Chain A
Amino acid sequence: MATYIQIDPTQKLEPFKSVKKLPLEEYFTSGHRTCQGCESALVMKMMAKAAGPRSIILGSTGCMYVANTTYYSTSWVVPWMHTQLGSSGSAALGTSAALKVLMRKGKIKNEPINVIAFCGDGGGADMGVGAISATLTHAEYNSLILMYDNESYANTDIQLSGSTPWGANTTFSSPGKMKRIMHRRWKKNMAGMMAAGHPECKYVATICMSYGLHGMNSIRKALAIGGPTFIHSLDPCPKGWDYDPYLSHEMGELAVNSGVWPLYEVENGVLRLTGRTEQIAAGKIRRVPVRDYLLKQGRFAHFTNDDIDYFQSKVDDMWEKWLIPGVIPFRKDVEADPPPAN
């Protein structure tokens, strides 16, 4: 059969075998001014290390732009460019297209170069979702869109985004005397949406850098597979989630172990639950109650037991009622309407 999609060669990026075998070189270094305990900064560092020196990184507006790339003290060792808040997908597309045509026309050396565009949950799940979606349909252009999700507009003082969990206290949803729960929207399922909606996208994954090796190897796989890819990273945020910065790592583990944040990858259309999530699904370990995760964070300090129960029931639904647990919210069965109240 004819080949309709010409994907340019990518770099060979074998998985890192262990933490001890990671390269020592850093491509995201000093010069940034992120908060103590910032997991997103760790994601940037791991992402750059996983991608290596032959990379171009584009950053849309958000914490990882404002705090990371101060004039005269850029922390990026690889070429980096700011893109607008909603532009991560389209800027990656343009960059990748430029490399492709310039190499074809012999204007630059023909060699595989990684193109990564990162965005926060505001830039990705809210403003830039259309452009990311479009980019994932452009199968000929190699790029990775990485959404670092700290679950709020953390750089502008913690306003809720489409990716903020239900009920969280943000500066746009502070509990008050009349309304305890101001934020009544459930978190957007970005990775599932990207995987389900873009059949030509060869790789979608969820990661959490509390599991660093797993996260880095997902990034390497996304870059090596070719075409546009998407990774959704859950990044605990001491400022936005309101916990002691030394707990960042533990917070990520709790998100995974409570089943709130399922780890999975969709590689060439094949879904695989990964890491601890795979063990939870296989019944090897039990999910930790969401209470243990929620109550460690000040943003849920106003929750009553009913609120926690509601949150738990929604997470239970995700695991027990979704057609593909934790990934796609189609239900297995039609649920009967509740009986009318007398």
Chain B
Amino acid sequence: MPTATAAKKKTVRINGCVASAQAAKYADVDVIAAYPIRPYTATMMALAQMVANGELDAEYIVADSEHSQLSIAHGASSSGARVFTGSSGVGVQFAYELYSPISGSRMPVQMMIADRTLDPPGDFGSEHTDALSTRDMGWLMGWACDAQEAFDNHLIAYRIGEDKRVLLPQMVCQDGFFVSHITTDVELPDSGQVREFLPPYKHPYPLDPRHPVSHGPQIMPEQGPPLQLERARAMEDSMAVIEEVHKEFGEIFGRHYDPWLEEYKTDDAEVVFFLQGGHGVTARFAIQHMREKGLKVGMVRLRTIRPYPTDRVCEVLSKFKVVGVIETNMALGSPASGGALYADACAALYEAPERPLVISFMAGMGGEAIVLKEFYWMTEKMIQAQKRGKIEKRTHWVGFEE
């Protein structure tokens, strides 16, 4: 068990993008693959300055596309480097081809995502559809709700992904603008503590002429099932490592995160919001207000969506009468005909002895802020459903209904 060294931590006022860049610096990454797209690009701007100032010794490569960014990351990681890259919106999708090969070759590349809507509408706001559309590609994935959590998640994700029991790439996500461009206090740790928590990366099978290996060979169909099973098991088995690493992080740095879910005022709650990312901060505030009015409302914020904490979600959400899923993503034609989070939540709840009513709220689309009165409106819908004992309809588009 690592022990905390004399802590030389400091508190700085930075936004989510810079927090991510700081985390990459503390992780002493070897290769950075950059390409500009708003809003994540501020992370790469900060890293360029750090490399220029000699604060970080890394190869900073400006790629010619996101596809190249991830290809650079793949090659660099396969050669044994700790790699940092990132993107937003359509950029995440331009690189799509590489996600499965990177997880398939078990390369713990880390990618920072600051969400942005896809086209259309292509505005600069945050919708989680960019990263969520890649959620089943074998990458560990989770959302931060503020800059501090983003910083912490990067270090935690490297440690999990590089664990020899896991060896999987990670998408460390934060809402564009709501997190990436809002400045808050962030505690930066003592770098000695980070070295203890996150030792230098050593891949077991790098491309090395002394020990030649072939990565990613062509296989015959009959060789497919075991290879796919291996990757599926790596994802499943990562769950124990995820819990272990979060526990250790808390012990060293003093910030204790539940790896899967943040529960806010759920002890006596009857209706809860189920969401991920930066809107959780507004939700807490709205819940405080509604609590003053005597409404038994709470929030469950999903911190890790891949691997999905099915048992935990089932156990926690089945305590409530009504669950209101706030999507902030588009899953057109999906089971709720709204967002993607609903289907996962319902699947997790299926085996619960008593299931809550589940409603999908399409809110924050196009990166709109979800304002307090919308939280009140959604709470009202949940309470109505609770009284009636059934939902009015599966999906509400918030702001388009009375």
Cα A54 to Cα B214 in complex, Å, equals 15
Contact assessment for B31 and A94 in the assembled complex, using a CB-CB cutoff below 8 Å? yes
User: Which A residues touch B72, using CB under 8 A?
Assistant: 90-91, 93-94, 97
What mask results when residues 100 to 138 of chain A are scored 1 for a CB within 8 Å of chain B, else 0? 111011011000010000000000000000110110001
Contact assessment for A77 and B68 in the assembled complex, using a CB-CB cutoff below 8 Å? no
Contact assessment for B71 and A102 in the assembled complex, using a CB-CB cutoff below 8 Å? no
- The interface size of chain A toward B, counting residues with CB under 8 Å, comes to 47
Contact assessment for A79 and B75 in the assembled complex, using a CB-CB cutoff below 8 Å? no
Contact assessment for B71 and A131 in the assembled complex, using a CB-CB cutoff below 8 Å? yes
Prevailing SS type, chain A contact patch: mixed
Contact assessment for B212 and A138 in the assembled complex, using a CB-CB cutoff below 8 Å? no
Contact assessment for A97 and B59 in the assembled complex, using a CB-CB cutoff below 8 Å? yes
Q: Does A82 touch B at the CB level, under 8 Å? A: yes
User: Which B residues touch A66, using CB under 8 A?
Assistant: 218
Chain A, Cβ-Cβ closest to B73: A94
Contact assessment for B75 and A70 in the assembled complex, using a CB-CB cutoff below 8 Å? no
Q: Does A171 touch B at the CB level, under 8 Å? A: no
Chain A, Cβ-Cβ closest to B213: A79
Q: Does A76 touch B at the CB level, under 8 Å? A: yes
What mask results when residues 207 to 239 of chain B are scored 1 for a CB within 8 Å of chain A, else 0? 111011111111110010000000000000000
Which listed residue, A67, A77, A83, A104, touches B71 by the CB 8 Å rule? A83
Contact assessment for B75 and A95 in the assembled complex, using a CB-CB cutoff below 8 Å? yes
- The interface size of chain B toward A, counting residues with CB under 8 Å, comes to 44
User: Which B residues touch A65, using CB under 8 A?
Assistant: 218
Q: Does B19 touch A at the CB level, under 8 Å? A: no
Give the interface centre of A83, A98, A105, A138 by most chain B CB atoms within 10 Å: A98
Contact assessment for B218 and A84 in the assembled complex, using a CB-CB cutoff below 8 Å? no
Cα A79 to Cα B208 in complex, Å, equals 6
Contact assessment for A82 and B101 in the assembled complex, using a CB-CB cutoff below 8 Å? yes
Cα A131 to Cα B212 in complex, Å, equals 26
Which listed residue, B64, B71, B209, touches A78 by the CB 8 Å rule? B209
User: Which B residues touch A4, using CB under 8 A?
Assistant: none
Cα A90 to Cα B31 in complex, Å, equals 13
User: Which A residues touch B127, using CB under 8 A?
Assistant: none
The answer to whether residues A79 and B57 also contact, given A90-B63, A98-B75 and a CB cut-off of 8 A, is no
Contact assessment for A108 and B68 in the assembled complex, using a CB-CB cutoff below 8 Å? no
The answer to whether residues A81 and B214 also contact, given A91-B72, A95-B79 and a CB cut-off of 8 A, is yes
Cα A207 to Cα B65 in complex, Å, equals 30
Distance between B334 CB and nearest chain A CB, rounded to angstroms = 28
Q: Does B200 touch A at the CB level, under 8 Å? A: yes
User: Which A residues touch B81, using CB under 8 A?
Assistant: 97-98, 101-102
Q: Does B149 touch A at the CB level, under 8 Å? A: no
User: Which B residues touch A131, using CB under 8 A?
Assistant: 64-65, 67-68, 71
Contact assessment for B209 and A79 in the assembled complex, using a CB-CB cutoff below 8 Å? yes
Contact assessment for B200 and A107 in the assembled complex, using a CB-CB cutoff below 8 Å? yes
What mask results when residues 71 to 93 of chain B are scored 1 for a CB within 8 Å of chain A, else 0? 11111111111010000000000
Distance between A148 CB and nearest chain B CB, rounded to angstroms = 17
Q: Does A99 touch B at the CB level, under 8 Å? A: yes
Contact assessment for B98 and A84 in the assembled complex, using a CB-CB cutoff below 8 Å? yes
Give the interface centre of B77, B101, B212 by most chain A CB atoms within 10 Å: B212
Contact assessment for A134 and B217 in the assembled complex, using a CB-CB cutoff below 8 Å? no
Q: Does B349 touch A at the CB level, under 8 Å? A: no
Q: Does A55 touch B at the CB level, under 8 Å? A: yes
Chain A, Cβ-Cβ closest to B211: A79
Distance between A50 CB and nearest chain B CB, rounded to angstroms = 15
Q: Does B300 touch A at the CB level, under 8 Å? A: no
Within 8 A of A (CB), among B23-39: 30-31, 33
Cα A87 to Cα B68 in complex, Å, equals 7
Within 8 A of B (CB), among A39-75: 53-56, 58, 65-67, 69-72, 74
Contact assessment for B30 and A69 in the assembled complex, using a CB-CB cutoff below 8 Å? no
The answer to whether residues A84 and B76 also contact, given A90-B68, A101-B81 and a CB cut-off of 8 A, is no
Chain B, Cβ-Cβ closest to A67: B218
The answer to whether residues A134 and B75 also contact, given A76-B214, A98-B30, A98-B59 and a CB cut-off of 8 A, is no
User: Which B residues touch A130, using CB under 8 A?
Assistant: 64-65, 68
Q: Does A92 touch B at the CB level, under 8 Å? A: yes
Distance between A326 CB and nearest chain B CB, rounded to angstroms = 29
User: Which A residues touch B59, using CB under 8 A?
Assistant: 97-98, 100-101
User: Which B residues touch A134, using CB under 8 A?
Assistant: 63-64, 68
Beyond A79-B207, A87-B71, A107-B80, 9 additional contacts (C-beta under 8 Å) are A69-B217, A71-B217, A71-B219, A74-B214, A78-B209, A80-B214, A84-B71, A101-B58, A130-B65
A-B contact pairs, 7 of them (CB 8 A): A66-B218, A82-B215, A90-B63, A95-B75, A95-B79, A101-B81, A107-B80
In the A-B complex, the 4 residue pairs with the smallest Cβ-Cβ separation, listed nearest first, are A94-B75, A82-B216, A94-B72, A87-B71
